[in-house]
Structure 1
Amino acid sequence: MFDLHRLRLLRELKHRGTLAAVATALSYAPSSVSQQLSQLEAEVGVPLLEPVGRRVRLTAQAEILVAHTEAILERLERAEADIATSLTELTGTLRITSFQTAALALVPAALGLLRDRHPHLRVHVTHMEPEKALPALQARDFDLVLAEEYPGNPKPRLAELEQEDLLDDPLHLALPMSVGAGDTEGPTAALRSLAGHPWVMEPEGTAARHWAMTLCRDAGFEPDVRFETTDLLLHQRLVEQQHAAAFLPELVWSGLPPTVPLRQLPRGRRIRRIFTVVRQGSSRHPAIRACRDALRRAVGLRSSQA
């Protein structure tokens, strides 16, 4: 029978990419990881790694082993959930990540609800963009991810992860006060009127940046992006101080009145989807269920206060 610990190391290598990354994540020496994987190769009787330059990659047989390891770990997730469900009190640590606007608008209220209902559950929150958080979830660095999907830019749904919708967040064109895009203009005309204006957007490589660039190009212009940051509060401030135009989601206002003029975006481009993601098999865990319930209630509280 193959050693489960060594199988997990092989799985970690698939998700983290290098022996050094596996060693750092698990607090091992790289030589120890390499030795364990060599022993696994001896157990299996076929090569599991092949050199590619200075790195290694998994062989076809290693990929087969990782697929079976994923199934075993999913079953163990279910076992952990069943054990936790059998207990009368919810304890332990729940590790979640959230992107900025959800962290500001929803997470504090959800934490308060969790504290009141499950005072012995320790919740650890990390601010992280979904592009990095989802691979970290697969690698078991976190238990739940708050993620977003922009219109027209769907991401592949990985079989080993489970998604649950949380809310639809309207997106707006945010104008500096000095820009005269009138209320009577249509969405595309209002957008096109900013062709010569400076913009603030999220960095290259993010889903938000791809969506924003597509919007502008479909309106017939290449935006003059002078400011790049994932901090949407800085986006808001730059618009308020009349340095840039921006695309801002409704969550950024946290239920308060907008501080800059807003215009509608073209139809089909106005809503981003916000959802939670967990590993396959862990959705039945009472801590996951409690967190998702608290987030849904936080959305409800925000809606009732709007």
Structure 2
Amino acid sequence: MNDHPRPFELRRLRLLHELAQRGTIADVAAATSYSPSTVSQQLEILAREAGTALLEPDGRRVRLTAAGRSLAQHAARMLELDEAAHAELAASRGAPTVVRIAVMPTAAQALVPRALRLLAEREPELRLESVEMSPEEGLRELAMRQFDLVVAEQYPGHIREIRAGFDRTLLGADPVRLVLAPDDPAAGLADLAGRAWILEPPGTAVREWAVQQCRAAGFEPDVRFEATDLTTHVRMAAAGLAVAILPDMLWTGDRGTVRLVELPGAPVRQIFAAIRASSRDSRAITAVADTLREALAAHRPR
């Protein structure tokens, strides 16, 4: 009689890993193109294979049991090995290397075009695929193996969550300044109490940081406008309708329509690349990070 347990199916382990990261069956279903019922059914089969409950009710949702969390951690390591095996086999076949990156909008405009030109010269067999995405979303999807590298930002005193299994590489620094209409008489942040502001939506690192800057100057910003598209911030500021705080990386073209004013302490945001620790030895991913660093160093707003 064979008492050896049956091997776990990687597809089901992936669903468990997704649930551990995303939190709900509905989010897992949306990300994997399965129906919620199919996700639930596959996780039930996985629990039978494991011989223990992996999920338990949590109101209208479910959460992982201790055994479920433990198996999800093992699943992450198994997925890393699966990814490494596929990459090695692809290389042995001479297949082109594909590196998928998620970049925040300013980096998509200022860094990616130059990085692509550098890669075309140095790594002609490398295929770079880029998706514009907020840092918050990109870092989450990095854990889900949707991307190989994420370009994100970090503001002074606002450190992003340190995630196990991620490596960070500093790409460079990007000054952040007040953006005003050309004829705005304000000399600095302290002169802008009571003015209308335009900021990114709540929950973003830059929004929380900008609000803290205003509070440190002695006032609560009157945020009348919210927009994720920073060109909207520029146009509102240029028209004198709102005050904005924007990074220099935004200025890939003429910035003569606005006046830039230094913030107290002349702060800069750190631009970093995040990868999974299991990818740290990938020559292709390292090459992409290097070209992004060079692109940032060469960026000179006009």
Q: Which position in structure 1 is the counterpart of 2:232?
A: 234
Aligned to 2:151: 146
Structure 2 distance, partners of 1:58, 1:74, is 21
Stretch moving more, 209-218 or 191-200: 191-200
Q: Cα gap change, 1:86/1:10 in structure 2, threshold over 3 Å: closer, same or farther?
A: same
Q: In the TM superposition, what whole-angstrom CA distance separates every residue of 1:91-112 from its partner, at most 9, and x where no partner exists? A: 1432211111111111111122
In structure 1, the residue matched to 2:178 is 173
Is the 2:171–2:293 Cα contact (8 Å) retained in structure 1? yes
Q: Does 1:39 align with 2:37?
A: no
Q: Please list, as runs of the form range in 1=range in 2, the aligned pairs for 1:1-306 lying within 5 A after superposition.
A: 1-80=7-86, 82-83=88-89, 91-182=96-187, 190-254=188-252, 259-267=257-265, 270-302=267-299
Q: Distance in 1 between matches of 2:141 and 2:260?
A: 35
* Structure-2 separation of matches of 1:223 and 1:10: 43
CA distance, structure 1, for counterparts of residue 65 and residue 213 of structure 2: 41
CA contact (8 A) 2:172 2:297 kept: no
Query: Larger deviation: 206-215 or 283-292?
Result: 283-292
- For the 8 Å contact 1:144–1:288, the answer to whether it is kept is yes
Residues 255 and 62 of structure 1, relative CA distance in 2, 3 Å threshold: same
Given that residues 212 and 247 in structure 1 are in contact (C-alpha distance below 8 angstroms), is that contact kept between their aligned partners in structure 2?
yes
The 10-residue stretch of structure 1 (71-80 or 210-219) with the greater mean CA deviation from structure 2: 71-80
Q: TM-score, normalised by structure 1?
A: 0.88
Distance in structure 1 (CA, Å) of the matches to 2:186 and 2:234: 18
CA drift at 1:255: 6.8
Unpaired segments ≥5 residues, structure 2: 1-6
Whole-angstrom CA distance in 1 between matches of 2:106 and 2:251: 9
Task: Give yes or no for contact 1:81–1:282 (8 Å, CA) kept in 2.
Answer: no
Label 1:266 to 1:90 Cα distance change in 2 as closer, same or farther (>3 A).
farther
**1:283: Cα distance to partner?**
2.5
Deviation at 1:82, TM superposition (A): 4.8
1:99–1:129 Cα contact (<8 Å) kept: yes
CA distance in structure 1 between the partners assigned to 2:204 and 2:60 by the alignment: 28
Q: Residues 25 and 257 from structure 1, CA distance in 2 versus in 1: closer, same or farther, beyond 3 angstroms?
A: closer
In structure 2, distance between residues paired with 1:258 and 1:157: 39
Query: Is the Cα contact below 8 Å between 1:146 and 1:274 reproduced in 2?
Result: yes
- Provide the residue aligned with 2:4 in structure 1: none
**C-alpha RMSD over aligned residues:** 2.3
| Contact 1:93/1:121 (8 A) holds in 2 | yes
Unaligned 5+ residue runs, structure 1? 183-189
| Matched-pair identity in % | 48
Which amino acid counterpart does residue 189 of structure 2 have in structure 1? L
CA distance in 2, matches of 1:15, 1:22: 9
